[in-house]
Amino acid sequence: MRIYLVRHGETDWNKARKVQGSADIPLNAYGIHLAEETAEGLKEVAFDRAYTSPLVRAKKTAEVILNGRDIPLFEADAIREMNFGSYEGMCCGGEHKEPESAEFNKFFTDTANFIPAEGGESVQELLQRTGQFLEELYQNPELEEKTILLSAHGASMTGLLNCMKGNLDIANFWIEGVPPNCGVTIVDVENGVPKIRKENLVFYQEAVRAWSVE
């Protein structure tokens, strides 16, 4: 099995440094452009199946990458973005950073001590559901020789990658940083064991600003 794991393209909330989580924010025009560039970079990949978070920004990214090809696209709730509860919509970085965002920003700067907001999800819960999704994927005999696209989000993609690497230490959740918009990681799975071949490839020329809470 070969997996191409991709983070969605840019949204206006990404650009404004707002907490998205489960909020269903669409790609902006630039985000669609990044997805189109990624589609061009992956046009020779013969995907057999694709899974996407049900959130529109991830689903649209997958649809653009697949570019009308007759490939099954399944929504998978287990790879949706982490639910941040009442933190969602808050500006947590940049010149409009809200003072009350300090507690949320522990998610990036002090993950082990991050406390979910009301209605939100914990990092442990995210790791549990992404890990379970991968186990079900690995154990599906129909997919053993298939090439699969997974379209996810910054935190859910990081959860998937950490599960692949066996990194379940919450304090080190962001040890590799936040994946770039439309960053692609290629993983081979043999006998249920994942091996990362390339991580955070980008197929566009533009310099996309890395996520920061500053």
Using one digit for the tens of pLDDT, what is the confidence trace for 46-85?
Answer: 999 999 999 999 999 999 999 989 999 999 999 999 999 9
Question: Strands 184-190 and 147-152: what pairing?
Answer: unpaired
pLDDT of 213 higher than 70 = no
Residues 149-160 have pLDDT tens digits of: 999 999 999 999
Are 204 and 187 within 8 A, CB to CB? no
Q: Is the dihedral of CA 51, 56, 58, 61 positive or negative?
A: positive
214 is catalytic: no
Please state the rounded mean pLDDT for residues 14-40.
Answer: 96
Q: What is the model's pLDDT at position 108?
A: 96
Question: Strands 2-7 and 193-201: what pairing?
Answer: unpaired
Say which of 10, 37, 81, 121 is annotated catalytic.
Answer: 81
> How many whole angstroms separate alpha carbon 90 and alpha carbon 87?
6
Say which of 8, 10, 37, 88 is annotated catalytic.
Answer: 8
8 is catalytic: yes
pLDDT of 207 higher than 80 = no
Q: What is the model's pLDDT at position 211?
A: 55
